[in-house]
Amino acid sequence: MIAPVSRLPFAGLSVVEVAVGAGDLGLGAAGGVPGMLLADLGADVVRVVGAEPVPIDRDVPWGRAWHRDKRLVATDDRDEVFALLRYADVALVYGPEALVEARGLGYRDLCAANPSLVYARCRPSRTAAGTVEDYGLLVEANAGLCTQLAGHRPGPIFVDVRASGIGTASLLVVSVLALLGRRARTGAGGWAETSLYDGMLATLGCMIGRSERAAPEIEGYWEKGSTFPNFLYRCADGELIQVWFGGKGMYRSLIEVLGDEPSAQGYYTDQMTGKLGERAARWTSFFATEPRDVWIRRLREVGVACEPVLGPGEALADPHLAEIGLAVPRADAGHRDVVVGSPISMRPLGPRDGTAAPPGAASGDLLAGVRVVDFSAFVAGPLAAEVLADLGADVIKIEPPEGEAMRAAAYAVAACQRGKRSLALDIGAPAARPVVERLLAGADVVLHNFRVGVAERLGIDEETVARLNPDAVYCHASAFGATGPRAALPANDALMQAVTGFERAVGGAGNDPLAATWIPLDMAGGWVAAVGVLAGLYARSAGGRGQHVVTSLLGSGMLLQSGVFERDGELVRGPELDARQTGYGPGYRLYEGGDGRWFALVVPDEPAWRRLAALVPDGSLPEVYAPLRGGAADDAARRAEAVLETAFAAGPAAGWVGRLRGAGLLAELVEPLDRDGFRRAVLDDPVNRVLGRVVSYETADWGRFEQIGPLLRCGPAAGGGPRLMLPGVGEHSVEILTELGFGREEIDALLAAQVARQMKSD
C-alpha cells in the first residue's frame, strides 16, 4: 500500500524522464513504469517529451496510468531539457542517439555539469544481427521470441507477454536504486545502460541454459521446453479456472474433490511416469460438470490453490486489491479512475532507537559490504537475492539440509542461485536457533517468500528481526500481499497469469487463454522484490533506520498490465491482440509472406504510412493514417490490414522486408526457430558475450554451463561483477558458521545432529 506523503521514502528526490523520439507503444512499460514507481515512492518526476506527440501513440491510453503523477514538459529545446537535468538527481533517458547523444544529453555531457547525477539510459537494441529500434514487437521478432509459444494457428505469433517492456523497466529501476545507494555513501553519481533486448532476456532466465554434461531430463528442458500440463479447465458455466497443486497434500486433496481414482505412487512418481498428464486430460470432463464458483469454493476449502481466469484489468474490481493498495482510485478531468497501485509497500522497521543505520561500504562497488540472508525458495524470492548478488552483495542462501524443493528443477537453480553461498540448516530445530539469531543480527537484508504466518512460526518474522537488528531491511516477497482477505492464499506463476489477465492477453480476442511456459510472472516478482530491497536500503541510508518491505506476485503481475485502468466503471485497455494473434493493427503487427515466412512491421507516423502506400498496388491503402485497431479510425485500420495482408501474400517475406527497408520502413524478418535454435541464438551471439549478457563457467554437476548472465551494466567503477558459480547444498556451511563465531566443536555438533550439513568436497 502506498504510504502517506509524510512517510514516502523518496520525497525530495528529483527525477527527469527524457522520452524524445520514443513512445508508450514501442517502449511499453520500459518508458513509463520506472518513473511511475519512483513517483509512487515519493520522488518528484518530470517527463520531457517532444513538442509533437508520437503519432502511433494517438490511440494508446496506457500513459494516462503510467504518467499519472508526473509533470509533463513538451519541448524540442535542448537547452530547456539540459537545464532540467542539470539539477536532477536521476535521469531516465530514452531515444535514438541522434536525439540524445548528438544533442549533448548523454552521460558524459551531463555529468560534467552535474557530477552527482544518476543517469540511466535505454538504448536501441544491438546484437550481432544488427540494431533494432525501440519497438518491443521489432525486438522480439528479431530475437525470435514470437516463435517460442504455440498459438492458435501455425507459425509465429505476436507474444503479448510485455516481456521486453517490463524487463527493461526492472533493469532501469534496479540500476537507478543501486547507484543512488552508492551515491548516498560516496556522493558520486554514475551511469547505467540497458535496452529492450536486455529487458526481454531479464524475463527468460529460466528458459535459457546449456550444459556440458547435465542429465538428459535437465538438458532436455533447455533444449525442448516444458511438457508440464497447464491445468487450465473450462467449467459448466463456460468460465475458465486455473488450478495449481504444488503444495504439500494438494495433489491428494484435488483427486479426492474431483472423485478421481487415488494415486498409489504420489505426485512426483505420477509426473515422471506420465500418469499426471493422463489425469490432467481426464479432468477436463470432471470440471465441465459444475460452474466455476462451485469449483473454486470446493478446492479452496481443502487447500487446493485455484484462480479464475480474468481479462487484463478485471482484477481491479477485487476488494482485496483496493485494501492492499494495488487498486487506487483517482480523479482525472472529471472522471473516476482506478489504476494499478505500487507493488511495493514500505515502512520503517520497528521503533526508532535514535541511532543511524550503518552506511555500508565506502568503495565504488554498488552493494559491496551488504550481507543478504536469503530464506526464500522457488523463483521470485531467490531471483531477487541473485540480483543483489549480481550487484556485489554477499548473499547467504539458507536451505534445508536436504536442499530446497526447487533443487529438482534445475532451471530454477540455474536462473536464481548464481553467486550465492549455501548454508544448509534446519531452521526449525531448537539447536539451530542460535545460528538463526546470529544470521538475523548480522544481516543488512533479510528476505523470505513464505506464506503469511510461516515466518512467525519459524522465528524470522518482522518483530524478531526488529528486536535483533533494527537497522535491517526486512523483505517479504509474498503471494497476495501480507494483509487483506486473500493474504494467506498460496500462489504461483500460473495462477497469477490467470488472475492478472496475462493468459487472456496472450490468447487473443475471443480465443482460449494461453500461458507462457517460462514462468514470466515469477521472474517479474523476483525483479520487483529486488527493487523493493534496494528501495529499502536507500531509505535506510537516508533515514537512519531499518525498513519493512512487502512485495507480491499479484502486484508484479498487475504491473505488467498497469497501462490498463478503469474509468467511470469501464475498463480502458487500449490496443489488444486480434484473434489470429498477429498484433494490434496494420501498423504494429506480424504479416505472412507468400512463402509462408513471417515478418514484423511498424509504421510509426504519417510519412511512413505514405511510403508504405506507395509499395501497395493500385493505391488501395486508405489515405488516413490508421496504424491501430480500436481507435477513431478503426474502420480504416481494418481495411488497411486486409489490403496489406493481400499485398504481402503476393511475394516472399524476405523480399518484402528488403523493399520495406529500402523505403525507410521498420521491418524485421522472423526466423523460424525451435526452442534449441532460440537458445543458441542468444547464447552464441558474440555481442551478447562481449556485453556480459551471456556467461559461461564451471559447475560441479553439469561441467561447463552457459546461461543469461548479469544484465546490469553500470559505471563508473561499479565493481568487478558477481562470482560466477552455483552453490551446492551446504557448500559453504562450515565457512559461514565460522564467520558467525561458532567454534569447531559447536559446528561439529550441528553437523552430527544433522541440523546443519556441509557438502562433501571431492
Quote the pLDDT of residue 352. 52
Q: Decide if pLDDT at 566 tops 90.
A: yes
Q: Decide if pLDDT at 621 tops 80.
A: yes
Task: Answer whether residue 216 is part of any domain.
Answer: no
Q: What is the mean pLDDT of residues 464-478?
A: 98
Q: Are residues 554 and 658 in the same domain?
A: no
Q: Decide if pLDDT at 761 tops 80.
A: no
Cross-sheet strand order for the sheet of 44-49: 70-74, 44-49, 14-19, 90-94, 118-123, 190-195, 713-715
Closest CA to 15 of 32, 39, 33, 31: 39
Q: Which amino acid is at 118?
A: V
Q: What is the mean pLDDT of residues 302-331?
A: 97
Q: Tell me the pLDDT band of 344, cut-offs 50, 70 and 90.
A: very high
Task: Answer whether residue 206 is part of any domain.
Answer: no
As a whole-number percent, the residues of the chain with pLDDT over 90 amount to: 90
Quote the pLDDT of residue 6. 43
Q: What is the mean pLDDT of residues 465-487?
A: 97
Q: What is the mean pLDDT of residues 307-318?
A: 98
pLDDT in tens, 714-734: 999 876 667 899 999 999 999
Weakest mean pLDDT among 244-253, 581-590, 641-650, 715-724: 715-724
Q: Which amino acid is at 362?
A: A
pTM above 0.75, yes or no: yes
Contact of 641 with 658, CB cutoff 8 Å? no
Q: Are residues 647 and 504 in the same domain?
A: no
Q: Which amino acid is at 531?
A: V
Residues 6+ apart with CB under 8 A from 522: 206, 378, 379, 380, 383, 492, 493, 553
Domain final residue, candidates 670, 692, 707: 670
Quote the pLDDT of residue 273. 85
Task: Answer whether residue 420 is part of any domain.
Answer: yes
Quote the pLDDT of residue 428. 97
Number of Cβ within a 10 Å radius of residue 716: 11
State the burial class of residue 582 (Cβ atoms within 10 Å of its Cβ: 0-12, 13-18, 19+).
buried
Q: Decide if pLDDT at 8 tops 90.
A: no
Cell output for 416: 536464481
Return phi, psi of residue 600, to 5°: -100, 145
Quote the pLDDT of residue 434. 98
Q: What is the mean pLDDT of residues 202-218?
A: 95
Quote the pLDDT of residue 351. 66
Closest CA to 552 of 526, 519, 533: 526
Q: Give the CATH number of the domain where residue 592 resides.
A: 3.30.1540
Q: Are residues 190 and 241 in the same domain?
A: no
Q: Are residues 621 and 540 in the same domain?
A: no
Q: Which residue has the cell 487447500?
A: 303
Q: What is the mean pLDDT of residues 279-302?
A: 97
Closest CA to 1 of 499, 549, 536, 442: 549
Q: Are residues 49 and 97 in the same domain?
A: yes
Residues 6+ apart with CB under 8 A from 395: 372, 374, 385, 386, 388, 389, 419, 420, 421
Quote the pLDDT of residue 356. 47
What domain range includes position 103?
Answer: 14-130+165-194
Q: Tell me the pLDDT band of 409, cut-offs 50, 70 and 90.
A: confident
Quote the pLDDT of residue 720. 60
Q: Tell me the pLDDT band of 91, cut-offs 50, 70 and 90.
A: very high
State the burial class of residue 284 (Cβ atoms within 10 Å of its Cβ: 0-12, 13-18, 19+).
exposed
Cross-sheet strand order for the sheet of 583-585: 583-585, 588-592, 598-602, 666-670
Domain final residue, candidates 308, 328, 358: 308
Quote the pLDDT of residue 406. 87
Quote the pLDDT of residue 7. 63
Q: Are residues 489 and 400 in the same domain?
A: yes
Rounded distance between C-alpha atoms, residue 696 and residue 689, angstroms: 9
Q: Are residues 179 and 288 in the same domain?
A: no
What does the angle CA 381 – CA 169 – CA 341 come to, to the nearest 5 degrees? 75
Q: Tell me the pLDDT band of 403, cut-offs 50, 70 and 90.
A: very high
Weakest mean pLDDT among 94-103, 114-123, 382-391, 580-589: 94-103
Q: Are residues 434 and 302 in the same domain?
A: no
Task: Answer whether residue 344 is part of any domain.
Answer: no
State the burial class of residue 724 (Cβ atoms within 10 Å of its Cβ: 0-12, 13-18, 19+).
middle
Contact of 561 with 504, CB cutoff 8 Å? no
Quote the pLDDT of residue 2. 41
Q: Are residues 391 and 471 in the same domain?
A: yes
Rounded distance between C-alpha atoms, residue 114 and residue 563, angstroms: 33
Q: Are residues 239 and 178 in the same domain?
A: no
Task: Answer whether residue 710 is part of any domain.
Answer: no
Task: Answer whether residue 357 is part of any domain.
Answer: no
Task: Answer whether residue 347 is part of any domain.
Answer: no
Cell output for 290: 459444475
Q: Decide if pLDDT at 129 tops 90.
A: yes
Quote the pLDDT of residue 268. 77
As a whole-number percent, the residues of the chain with pLDDT over 70 amount to: 97
Task: Answer whether residue 291 is part of any domain.
Answer: yes
Domain final residue, candidates 308, 327, 348: 308
Q: Are residues 381 and 470 in the same domain?
A: yes
Question: Which of 195-209, 212-226, 711-725: highest mean pLDDT?
Answer: 195-209
Count structural domains, the chain: 4
Q: What is the mean pLDDT of residues 418-444?
A: 98
Contact of 302 with 322, CB cutoff 8 Å? no
Average pLDDT over the chain reads 94
Buried b (16+ CB within 10 A) or exposed e, 228-250: eebbbbebeeebbbbbbbeeeeb
Q: Are residues 557 and 603 in the same domain?
A: no
Rounded distance between C-alpha atoms, residue 175 and residue 38, angstroms: 13
Closest CA to 163 of 137, 126, 188: 137
Q: What is the mean pLDDT of residues 589-608?
A: 98
Q: Give the CATH number of the domain where residue 107 resides.
A: 3.40.50.10540
